[in-house]
A and B are shown apart, each in its own frame.
Chain A
Amino acid sequence: MSKNIITIEHVTKRFPVGDGVFTALSDINLELKEGEFAGLVGPSGSGKTTLLNIMGSLDSPTQGKAIVMGRNISDLSHKESAQLRNIHIGFIFQVFNLLPVYTVYENVEFALILQNIGSAERKRMVMEALEWVGLENMANKKPSKLSGGEGQRVAIARAMVKRPNIVLADEPTANLDAANAHAIIQTMKKLNQELNTTFLFSTHDEKVMGYLDRIIHLEDGKVALDKIVLPKTTAL
């Protein structure tokens, strides 16, 4: 049986807005297991990004518990949170957010440098990650020379190179055309299956939803629907 990677128990998140308070998440309960390929869907303001922040140890709940890799997010110091992200969590953003002065290789390598992995091992891991996304021949290119799809694949390699337990992706296909969006999702699906990495997307994109094993529908900060679905396995 797959183990729990993330456990969300009665999580509420409130933000001060002017003189009042805005409740972004209200009494959320969720479990995310190893190897899941899940998506948070819902309209803007439904709490997707807030939940992603908490699961990524970028924020902590106002009430309730968020247990990520066995650690209660609320109990972690800033340094411990950073360490948790560094080792266990990979991020993929809507905009690829590659560091423009570094090459593709160096962008991917950075996550490993933070873990103080030796250079020979780093090289092996980086090249392997670039092979996963089919960019092994572009290692020395600068991000400015890449297409949108290539840029997002580098971002996937960067997120995956350290073999994280969880990858959190915020609208990863929002800036891509249909063909590239499918290719990217298929790459992530393949990695999910081969490496058993848990993927959680925040998305509006129907194309992404088609590949998900599980869809968690948020509405007004609450889980409106949480269903297991039969995903697509081939490109449309």
Chain B
Amino acid sequence: MIKFLLKGVLGDKNRSVLPIIIISIGVALTVLLSGYIRGAMGDIINQNARFDTGHVKIMTRAYAENKSQIPNDLAFLGVDSLINELKTSHPNMIWVKRIRFGGIIDVPDDKGETKGQGPASGMAIELFNTNSGEIQRMNIPSSLVHGTLPKQVGEALIGQEFVDKLGLEIGDKVTYFGSTMNGSMAFKNFTITGSVRFGTPALDKGAIIIDISDAQTMLDMEDGAGEILGFESDEIYDDEKALELTEEFNARFVNNTNEFAPIMLRLKDQNNLAGYLDYVDVYSAMFVTIFVIVMSIVLWNTGLLGGLRRYQEFGIRLALGESKGHIYKTLIYEATLIGIIGSIVGTAMGLGGTYYLQVVGIDIGKYLENATMLMPSVIRAQVTPELFYIGFIPGLFAMVFGNMLSGIGIYKRQTAALFKELEV
């Protein structure tokens, strides 16, 4: 019987090719959309984690309260001992120190006079400590537009926008002007070894990247850092783990009233990300759900039409002595087969599209020119394990459900009317 039905399905394009095409398109769109939304979410989380928030971040309470002002006068001192302690108590985490700083970059001409100036948004990271993983974490090799990484103190990477705006070349010297941790004036000359573009407007504006040892000297922050960032060793953010870690860490200082006592914040607690992520979570879930429902209705309708189109065939089969229950069962078997084939084809198509968008992405840079949130200018999809089955919800279930509903008509069929119906 199965072989017989299979022949029928393969022989009738309206029963096989057409539903498979519709299911495949629906499933492919579902997979692609899910992959894109998840990829975009992952990109935003990842970008924030790598460049700003870490999976967790430790600051002094005072620094944390005024974080937007980059208040280095409220930064940690004795940071190395705190990091050593963290490495001992949480060996599965990677701990790095960073200093953010603001100021002005001055570009001198041949005579030493100011040729150009611009506001600097500096970041000092553990560039020379290859074990820190900061170079890879911040994706600096791929972001390097010209030149090389700094190899020694007094060297800096500078944002490509700065390079373009101030007419800089690799090897040129620039002077940083700002204020030290203690409020006195800070200035230091740097040799530009390379230019970078991270693809995130909020980062690329006025970017200057130096080794943290340079910043500590320049800003009078010996053994100091504004922020200690913690990352899971697999670099994947796990909100539950982060919450557990922050609660445990902060509990140790709950009775400490010192404004320089450390406080740990998880990624979601920073940059208004909690609200944003929850918002995006809810809306993406709603969007995917609505899409899945719409596709289910379309595919259900396909199943209904298929059932109606075969009205005569079912009539003949009833007259030949096939029971209604058996016809109904075979209808569901066929729908399952078509649903599975369509879902597999659609999932493969959707995964192909998702992979393409994961590699190429969609450039939204022009919409982010004045954005302050750390968002990548190219939003990429992400191939995740759930994409391998999510398309089966509309593809298989909707097809089968549609046929189950349309098949109810078989039970309502009056065999007494068969002679009349089959005369047409």
A and B part of one assembly: yes
Residues A58 and B423 in contact, CB atoms below 8 Å apart? no
Contact B320 A102 (CB under 8 A): no
Query: Which residues of chain A have C-beta atoms less than 8 A from B322's C-beta?
Result: 82, 86, 114
| Contact of B324 with A106 in the complex, beta carbons under 8 Å | no
Could you tell me the distance in whole angstroms from the C-beta of B147 to the nearest C-beta in chain A?
69
B312 & A102 in contact (Cβ 8 Å cutoff)? no
Chain B residue total in the interface (Cβ 8 A): 28
A93-B422 contact in complex given A59-B415, A102-B11, C-beta closer than 8 Å: yes
**A170 partner, pick from B315, B325, B419, B424, beta carbons under 8 A:** B419
Instruction: Give B9's nearest chain A residue, CB to CB.
Output: A101
Within 8 A of A (CB), among B316-366: 316-325
From 35 to 76 in chain B, residues with beta carbon under 8 angstroms from any chain A beta carbon are none
Q: Are A114 and B320 in contact (CB under 8 A)?
A: yes
Given contacts A85-B321, A110-B4, contact A52 B424 (CB under 8 A): no
Output the least CB separation between B73 and chain A (Å).
83
In the complex, are the beta carbons of A101 and B12 less than 8 A apart?
A: yes
Question: CB-nearest residue of chain B relative to A58?
Answer: B415
User: Which one of B11, B312, B416 has the highest number of Cβ atoms from chain A below 10 Å of its Cβ?
Assistant: B416
Cβ contacts under 8 Å, B15 to chain A: 101
Chain A positions 92 through 109: 1 when the CB is less than 8 Å from some CB of chain B, otherwise 0? 011101011110001001
Instruction: Report if B133 contacts A (CB, 8 A).
Output: no
**Which residues of A, 57-100, contact B by the 8 Å Cβ criterion?**
58-59, 78-79, 81-87, 89, 91, 93-95, 97, 99-100
Nearest Cβ on chain A to B317's Cβ, whole angstroms: 8
A53 at the interface (CB under 8 A from B): yes
Find out whether the CB atom of B4 lies under 8 angstroms from the CB atom of A89: no
- Check B316–A95 contact: CB distance below 8 A: no
Is A111 interfacial (CB-CB < 8 Å)? yes
Q: Would B7 and A82 count as touching, CB distance under 8 A?
A: no
Q: How many residues of A contact B (CB 8 A)?
A: 35
Given contacts A99-B316, A102-B8, contact A111 B419 (CB under 8 A): no
Q: Is the CB of A85 within 8 A of B8?
A: no
| Residue ID in chain A nearest B16 by CB atoms | A101
Q: Which residues of B contact A56 (CB under 8 A)?
A: 319
Inter-subunit contact B321/A89 (CB<8 Å): yes
B4–A91 touching, CB < 8 Å? no
A54 (CB) vs chain B CBs: closest residue: B416
On whether the beta carbons of B416 and A58 are closer than 8 Å, the reply is yes
Query: Are the C-beta atoms of A94 and B423 separated by less than 8 Å?
Result: yes
A82 touches B318 (CB 8 A): yes
The residues of B that contact A94 with a CB separation of less than 8 Å are: 422-423
Output the least CB separation between A173 and chain B (Å). 13
Q: What is the CA–CA distance of A82 and B380 in the complex, to the nearest angstrom?
A: 58
The reply to whether A82 and B418 contact each other, CB–CB distance below 8 Å, is no
Is there a chain B Cβ closer than 8 Å to A113's Cβ? yes
Give the complex CA separation of A218 and B93 in angstroms. 94
A171, B424: Cα distance in complex, Å = 13
Most chain A beta-carbon contacts within 10 A, residue among B12, B318, B423: B423
Q: How would residues 127 to 158 of chain B score, 1 for a CB under 8 Å from any chain A CB and 0 otherwise?
A: 00000000000000000000000000000000
A49 in the interface (beta carbon within 8 A): yes
* Residue B252 CB within 8 A of the other chain: no
Q: Which residues of A contact B278 (CB under 8 A)?
A: none
A85 with B319: CB separation less than 8 A: yes
Q: Are A82 and B321 in contact (CB-based, < 8 A)?
A: yes
For B290-332 the 0/1 string (1 means CB < 8 A from A) is 0000000000000000000000110111111111110000000
B420 x A97 contact (CB < 8 A): no
Interface centre among B11, B415, B424 (most CB of A within 10 A): B415
A100 contact set on B, CB distance < 8 A: 12
Given A85-B321, A110-B320, A101 and B8 contact (CB-CB distance below 8 Å): yes
In the complex, which residues of chain A have a beta carbon less than 8 angstroms from the beta carbon of B418?
Answer: 53, 58
Known: A101-B11, A102-B11. A91 touches B320 (CB 8 A): yes
Chain B positions 248 through 269: 1 when the CB is less than 8 Å from some CB of chain A, otherwise 0 = 0000000000000000000000
A111: contacting residue among B321, B325, B422, CB under 8 A: B321
Using A99-B8, A101-B11, A106-B7 as known contacts, say yes or no to A58 and B324 having CB atoms under 8 A apart: no
Interchain CB contact under 8 A, A106 and B4: yes
Contact B4 A113 (CB under 8 A): yes
Query: B250 to chain A: closest CB distance in Å?
Result: 70
A113/B1 in contact, CB under 8 A: yes
Contact A53 B416 (CB under 8 A): yes
Residue of B nearest to A94 (CB): B423
Contact among B313, B315, B323 for A78, CB-based, below 8 A: B323
Residues of chain B contacted by A102 (CB below 8 angstroms): 7-8, 11
In the assembled complex, the CB of B8 is this many whole angstroms from the nearest CB of chain A, namely 5
B146, chain A: closest CB distance, angstroms: 66
In the bound complex, residues from chain B placing their C-beta under 8 Å from that of A79 are 323, 325
> Which of A53, A86, A95, A171 has a CB less than 8 Å from the CB of B321?
A86
Q: A82-B324, A85-B320, A87-B321 in contact; A97/B312 too (CB < 8 A)?
A: yes
**New A-B contacts (18) at CB < 8 Å, excluding given A101-B7, A101-B11:** A49-B419, A49-B420, A52-B419, A56-B319, A59-B416, A78-B324, A78-B415, A79-B325, A82-B323, A82-B324, A94-B422, A95-B422, A95-B423, A99-B316, A102-B8, A110-B317, A158-B320, A170-B423
Give 29 CB contacts A-B under 8 Å. A49-B420, A53-B415, A53-B416, A58-B415, A59-B416, A78-B323, A78-B324, A82-B318, A82-B323, A82-B324, A84-B321, A86-B321, A87-B321, A93-B422, A94-B422, A95-B422, A95-B423, A99-B8, A99-B316, A101-B8, A101-B12, A102-B11, A106-B4, A106-B7, A109-B4, A110-B4, A114-B320, A114-B321, A158-B320
Interfacial residues, chain A to chain B (CB-CB below 8 A)? 49-50, 52-53, 56, 58-59, 78-79, 81-87, 89, 91, 93-95, 97, 99-102, 106, 109-111, 113-114, 158, 170-171
Ranked 8 nearest A-B pairs via Cβ: A86-B321, A59-B416, A85-B321, A101-B11, A82-B323, A58-B415, A101-B12, A91-B319
